[in-house]
Amino acid sequence: MKAAELLIKCLENEGVEYIFGVPGEENIDFMDALLDSSIQFILTRHETSAAFMAGAYGRLTGKPGVCLATLGPGATNLLTGVATANMDLCPLVAITGQAGLGRQHKVSHQYYDIVSVYAGVTKWNTQIKTAASVPEIVRKAFKVAKQEKTGAAHIELPEDVAKIKVEAAPLSIVPEKLSEADEPVIKDAVKLIEQAQHPIILAGNGVTRGDAAEELRTLVSKINLPVVHTFMGKGAVPWTDEHSLLTAGIGGNDYITCGFAQADLIVAIGFDMSEYPPKNWNAEGQTPILHVDTKEAEIDACYPVRLNVVGNIKENVKNLTNALAPKERDLAWVANVRKQALSELESFKNDHSFPVKPQKIISDLRSVMAEDGIVISDVGAHKMWMARMFHCYQPNTCLISNGLASMGVAVPSAIAAKMTAPKRQVVAVCGDGSFQMTSAELETAKRLNLPIVILLWRDDGYGLIEWHQMKAFNRSSHIKFDNPDFGQLARSYGFEAIKIEKTEELKPGLEKALAMNKPVLIDCPVDYRENMKLTEKLGHIIC
């Protein structure tokens, strides 16, 4: 068989269901081999979108998503999505075509050293130089991508190597299991928690990746510890639980960050520093950290680790729970923080001013979404509101890219989410700026007949940048643009379209869209004057 055919066999061996991508000249052997494969190729309209889809697939399934591009501009277009997956710790394997080995030593049409380009945004990447090495390279790429902390790997296949005849077979897959922390480490961790007067848990993305939400909930219930979630840790403890201090992540004081001010020990479980810089919640490094994760903590002056509990998060949290005695705590302050935070959302439930305030959009969205419905937030001002105020019952039901935080991620991710969870509601929350960056994928969603809902917050500008400009200079600079008629645009792609013209229409519009079982776009004007009002409000919160 050809090396390209062997590569397909190895991908099948790894359990690959989909490859998201855009084909090109230099990977035609690979694409031809796919015709005889069980793997479904998902043709996308842009390579960045393909990588966003693969990253979302990886995040939701725990299995590496696979994306493909050709050499040169295809590979560089793919790069942003690969970097996003790597920084968001989503398992992903990228495959790119390349010029033949015989022309890589000189300036050549569309040739760049893509392995060097990808070195900084992947855990591991390599070029296939010999056909016989394909099984080892594929097995290593998937192993590295899936190992904690999960991330991206990259394989480059030159066009001439793809054609080489080879006799080889995929390597067998040996399941791996993370080790648990030793018993003395668990005992030391128990002492730290028992000696603390006001410990608090910070739950991060690793809780979800490690399938440790149930174990965390048991721990929290047994010893009555309050839990703050990062943007990517949402839902580790249900927002309705009395121990939940909801979500932290916006810079500066907020109701939630007041919890950190009271703490004399922060138990960080599955926390990744790219999610929420420690300087934002432990600025002087005054509060010690008990770090429970798959890897030892990075060195950070604001993250003074007293003890690392390293290994399988699920098992280590379970062992901590078993070793700790039940404890009653006065959670009145937690109830007070929850009351203030939740009343802010509740107070906008019946707000009918127009354009629609961010708080009202979120209130209506939460009210119509099922507990297991999946909301994917794009990047922009709406992300800050969603992160702060859209509360979750379960992990991975509000997907926020908070590592690289790339604009345009929501629509492609919603496509992948609906493919992985066809019976669950999937809503992409986009700003008009981020939506236009990947809006061509509406055609992909329609072609695949995926009933996703796109909730578009329209303000005719880059709202988050304006927010920062106004805070810094009290004036904005070059952030306004014109928009098309989004209803006409959506319908031209075969979507249904709903335009919100008064606030009372939003909740019924969301209910209608979710019930249609068709791809739908909702055009909702948003009142971002609330941004600066929130900034002023946060400035007056005293812990």
Predicted confidence band at 4 (pLDDT cuts at 50, 70, 90)?
A: very high
Per the domain annotation, does 172 fall within a domain? Answer: no
Do 383 and 327 belong together in one domain? no
Residue 316, token pair as written in the block? 């280590």
Q: Which of 293, 317, 336 is the last residue of a domain?
A: 336
Residue 3's alpha-carbon distances to 129, 161, 162, 438, in angstroms, are: 10, 7, 5, 33
Domain count of the chain?
3
Query: Rounded to an integer, what distance in angstroms lies between the CA atom of residue 464 and that of residue 462?
Result: 6
Query: Rounded to an integer, what distance in angstroms lies between the CA atom of residue 454 and that of residue 409?
Result: 12
Predicted confidence band at 106 (pLDDT cuts at 50, 70, 90)?
A: low
Give yes or no for residue 36 having a pLDDT over 90.
yes
CATH of the domain at 37: 3.40.50.970
Predicted confidence band at 345 (pLDDT cuts at 50, 70, 90)?
A: confident
Predicted confidence band at 539 (pLDDT cuts at 50, 70, 90)?
A: low
Do 413 and 507 belong together in one domain? yes
Q: Which of 71-75, 184-188, 280-284, 374-378 has the lowest mean pLDDT?
A: 280-284
Per the domain annotation, does 376 fall within a domain? Answer: yes
Q: Which percentage of the chain shows pLDDT scores above 70?
A: 98
pLDDT at 424: 98
Question: Other CB atoms closer than 10 Å to residue 177's CB: what's the count?
Answer: 8
Do 358 and 309 belong together in one domain? no
Do 209 and 114 belong together in one domain? no
Per the domain annotation, does 258 fall within a domain? Answer: yes
Per the domain annotation, does 342 fall within a domain? Answer: no
Q: Which of 310, 336, 362 is the last residue of a domain?
A: 336
More confident residue, 121 or 541: 121
Do 155 and 19 belong together in one domain? yes
What confidence tens digit (pLDDT) does each residue in 199-242 have? 999 999 999 999 999 999 999 999 999 999 999 999 999 999 99
Answer for the pair 411, 440: CB distance below 8 angstroms, yes or no: no
Phi first, then psi, for residue 305 (nearest 5°) are -75, 120
Q: Which of 112, 130, 162 is the last residue of a domain?
A: 162
Per the domain annotation, does 177 fall within a domain? Answer: no
Give yes or no for residue 99 having a pLDDT over 80.
no
What confidence tens digit (pLDDT) does each residue in 37-71 have? 999 999 999 999 999 999 999 999 999 999 999 99
Give yes or no for residue 496 having a pLDDT over 70.
yes
Question: Other CB atoms closer than 10 Å to residue 183's CB: what's the count?
Answer: 10
- Cβ contacts of 520 within 8 Å, gap of 6 or more: 451, 452, 453, 454, 490, 495, 496, 497, 498, 513
Query: Rounded to an integer, what distance in angstroms lies between the CA atom of residue 86 and that of residue 121?
Result: 6
Do 355 and 293 belong together in one domain? no
Do 131 and 275 belong together in one domain? no
